[in-house]
Amino acid sequence: MLYQHIRNNGPGDLDIGVITPYRKQVECIKNELTNWDNPYETDVEVDTVDSFQAREKDVIIFSCVRTSKNIGFLSNVRRLNVAISRSKYGLYVVGNASKL
């Protein structure tokens, strides 16, 4: 997983956040993190775009992997701005390239 790669290859004191527009996806990502033997699982914050407003992390993983006819959050410029502007040093966008 991208999170583990960042943890294993970056400085140890990185503050990492995972942002997704969808609450159900937050639950799925949190479940995946706790299912591994992951010593860093408490060092990452996973939450929705709206929850990250007015806050930032060193590195953000923006998970927008839901695939449907359209991606609703892209039509809201403010929410999209929050999603892509929460990182201090690095932003990873994970999603369907043709939809994005």
pLDDT tens-place string over residues 37-78? 655 556 789 999 988 888 899 999 999 876 566 666 666 788
CATH number at residue 21: 3.40.50.300
Q: Compute the C-alpha angle 2/9/92, nearest 5°.
A: 35
Give the range of the structural domain holding residue 80, as residue numbers without chain letter: 2-95
Q: Give the span between the Cα atoms of 69 and 49, in whole angstroms.
A: 21
Residue 7 lies in a domain: yes
The structural domain count of the chain equals: 1
Residue 100 lies in a domain: no
CA distance to 45, 80, 84, 92, 94, per residue, from 52 (Å): 10, 12, 11, 16, 17
User: Using CA of residue 26, residue 3, residue 52, residue 98, what is the dihedral sign?
Assistant: negative
Residue 10 lies in a domain: yes
pLDDT tens-place string over residues 59-70? 999 998 765 666
Residue 53 lies in a domain: yes
Residue 33 lies in a domain: yes
Q: What's the predicted TM-score (pTM) here?
A: 0.84
**Contact (Cβ atoms closer than 8 angstroms) between residue 73 and residue 21:** yes
Phi/psi class of residue 54: alpha, beta or left (left: φ > 0; alpha: ψ in -120 to 50)?
left
